[in-house]
Structure 1
Amino acid sequence: MSTVTPSSDQRHGQTPGTERRMWWGLAVLTLPVLLVSMDFSVLYLAIPAITDALDPSATQQLWILDIYGFLIAGLLITMGNVGDRVGRRRILLAGAALFGVASVIAAFAPNAAVLVAARALMGVGGATLMPSSLSLIANMFPNARDRAKAIGVWTAAFAGGSAIGPVIGGVLLHHFWWGAVFLINVPVLAILFLAGPRLVPEYRAGSSAPFDVTGVVLSMLGILPLVYAVKTLAAEGASPTVFVIGAFGVLMLALFLAQQRRAAAPLLDLALFRNPLFSSAVSVALVGMMALGGMSYLTGVYLQSVRGFDVLSAALAGLPMAVAVAVFSIGASRVVAAVGLRTAFVGSVLLAAAGNLGLLMLDMSSPLWIYLVFTSIAGIGYGVQFSVVSDVVVGSVPVERSGAASGISETSFELGTALGLALLGSLATLVFRENSGGWSFGDTLGETLHRALGMGDDGTALASAARAAYVDGMHAASLASVILLGVLAVVLTLVMRTRRTSRPNSPQEVSPTMP
């Protein structure tokens, strides 16, 4: 792989054939992103069938669900740096191979332990796919306007995968056995292997500094326990063990940051956070995903356990929001061009806040259109902000570091989701328990509704009280997310004092050659 310095005509006067190849390459890059995001959500529908077939213990069931996300969160920064060094397309294809093999193992897993191991391998593979695909866009699209559109498409694919995962899972489980939700990955990855080498350019930074192995170890020892602690806190509540694990993660992260200041070639360039645009983007990713992740989970339970929709119907009710996210992710560059970067950032955060505020109108019998309208409003805000986040983060660094920067932004998204589930979920649970009205509630709404079965009139009253208390908890969490987003909007307004619509560091000085 070699790099050349293109002339001005080469940079700004691409031939129609080259441009078509560039956009077809983008279509190929969206495939692994779609799969990674789908595999976060598709398993929720399959768990009952997996439980019947493999009879996992409660601990094994937890790890089947969570080990995938844990390893992705822990390895994103590392894999972004590895891709910068060994080649972004190479690490993309290697990760896709691992993801595909692990998917086949998962589909035919004979027991729960094998399935947990396969999900872990899928997490390792998935951690290579996200930062490498996003950073390759920086190489393929040196023009700022084209790059912003391309990142919008990438963001739309990620959001679309999360939304259609349950729908596709429901269809597959209706016609096939549970392993089909994993085998669907194989033909998609086959397309990536066939088309990727032809349509996606290779890029590798020419760094000769030793790889920061110590930073890798410390980052994983920090991120993995912290994510585990916040997810366990959300699912099972507080305990001394959870706090010890969380405190260990915080300590390791502190050691990681101290070590990064001294490292010759650090995984995490702390100087990036002196850039107000970069810091603002990471903050939006973290807080935005806290609000989105927490409220998506709570409203999913609301639709099923309070309103009585089945899982597939609840997933279909989430499609309007997914469409809003996808459309406005792709159109985010036009929004920025029209109103400026600061206004686009602040306005998108306020739209997300307005959508979450509208959820306060939901009760046990409210019409479904309230949910559809306000989640769609929030989806517009999330679509714009997440697309702009990715563009700003990748654009805040030289092209040779865009893989590492992509890992930082994706880690922020992952940590935001975990914190949303833990903090907003815990707040909702606290209010749920406090509003029992003298009834003996279980730890969750589902447990309480199960307890109410067979109790006759008392059971009906218990179920009604539990549903009302859950709605109160959801309202409290909605209001908390609105406050968080509102504070973020104020901070962005103060910090982002300049209006910029282009990347600070365009990678036009380096252009990869096609193989």
Structure 2
Amino acid sequence: MSRRDRTERAGRARTLYLGTLFLPLALQNFLLTYNSTAMNVALSAILDDLGTTLTGVQAAISLYSLVVAAFLITGSKLGARHGHRRVFVLGAEVFVLGTLLTAFGPNLAYMLVGWSLVQGIGVALMLPALLSLITREFTGADRTRALSALGTVGGIGAAVGPLLGGVFTHYVSWRASFLMGTVITTVVVLALRRTPGPGPDPAASKGPR
């Protein structure tokens, strides 16, 4: 095999790897932005189902945002120390646990723990790792396009959230949004596990800082 053939084959393999890495990350980003807006249209259904107050549900929503903000720096440091892919998968697994607790929880306490706390921590672990994986693996114009596409997917998720969340709430249940999160995040984790990186994560090789 000539050097040119080897170069072309390596280029095709690299393109395939980047595509199989980007798609699950973009899908997860869509879900995270969807979650940030979908529940706003389900407040009445949540109140009736859980037998709680509007103040309680609004507190759960606010606490979720606070937990995400509070743990973002920690998530970033963990990714730099242990590897962004590993921390992303860990965050996704924590997120799945939170979606299940919320989806099957009988009262507000389960929502506070499952959604506000557990899901919030999962998101704080995933977000820095997601962005770091994109910026590490993509270079030049490819990085610009990947980040732009990621932002577009996130915007679509935020815009679709009230519409799709309203459909789920009206025709199925507000809990369906969290079960959808379980399914999508599980698929993303399985996809990432089947897509090994081209080499060791340089962030993980630096050791503790």
Q: TM-score, normalised by structure 1?
A: 0.37
Alpha carbons 1:60, 1:116 under 8 Å: kept: no
After TM superposition, give the deviation of residue 115 of structure 1 in Å. 1.0
Runs of 5+ consecutive residues of structure 2 not aligned to the other structure: 1-5
User: How is 1:308-387 mapped onto 2 (pairs within 5 angstroms)?
Assistant: none
Runs of 5+ consecutive residues of structure 1 not aligned to the other structure: 1-9, 210-264, 266-515
Looking at structure 1, the residues matched to 133 and 7 of structure 2 have their Cα atoms a distance apart, in angstroms, of 17
**Equivalence for 2:3:** none
Match of 1:100 among 96, 103, 126: 96
After TM superposition, give the deviation of residue 14 of structure 1 in Å. 4.4
Looking at structure 1, the residues matched to 144 and 55 of structure 2 have their Cα atoms a distance apart, in angstroms, of 43
**Equivalence for 1:178:** 174
SS in 2 for 1:184: helix
**Equivalence for 1:41:** 37
Alpha carbons 2:103, 2:175 under 8 Å: kept: yes
Does 2:149 correspond to 1:125?
no
Pair 1:208–1:162, CA change in 2 (3 A) = same
Q: Which runs of 4+ in 1 moved over 6 A?
A: 10-13
Does 2:189 correspond to 1:196?
no
Pair 1:151–1:56, CA change in 2 (3 A) = same
After TM superposition, give the deviation of residue 137 of structure 1 in Å. 1.1
SS in 2 for 1:199: coil
Does 2:67 correspond to 1:71?
yes
Match of 1:83 among 71, 79, 83: 79
After TM superposition, give the deviation of residue 58 of structure 1 in Å. 4.4
After TM superposition, give the deviation of residue 116 of structure 1 in Å. 1.0
**Equivalence for 2:53:** 57
After TM superposition, give the deviation of residue 198 of structure 1 in Å. 2.5
After TM superposition, give the deviation of residue 200 of structure 1 in Å. 5.4
Question: C-alpha root-mean-square deviation of aligned residues, in Å?
Answer: 2.1
User: How is 1:89-238 mapped onto 2 (pairs within 5 angstroms)?
Assistant: 89-119=85-115, 120-141=117-138, 143-199=139-195, 201=197, 203=201, 204-209=203-208
Looking at structure 2, the residues matched to 121 and 146 of structure 1 have their Cα atoms a distance apart, in angstroms, of 34
**Equivalence for 1:412:** none
Q: TM-score, normalised by structure 2?
A: 0.88
SS in 1 for 2:205: coil
Cα distance per residue 1:266-290 (max 9 Å; x no partner): xxxxxxxxxxxxxxxxxxxxxxxxx
Looking at structure 1, the residues matched to 43 and 171 of structure 2 have their Cα atoms a distance apart, in angstroms, of 16
Q: How many residue pairs end up in the alignment?
A: 200
Cα distance per residue 1:246-284 (max 9 Å; x no partner): xxxxxxxxxxxxxxxxxxx5xxxxxxxxxxxxxxxxxxx
Q: Greater Rg, structure 1 or structure 2?
A: 1
Alpha carbons 1:32, 1:129 under 8 Å: kept: no
Cα distance per residue 1:467-498 (max 9 Å; x no partner): xxxxxxxxxxxxxxxxxxxxxxxxxxxxxxxx
Looking at structure 2, the residues matched to 55 and 183 of structure 1 have their Cα atoms a distance apart, in angstroms, of 21
Alpha carbons 2:85, 2:129 under 8 Å: kept: yes
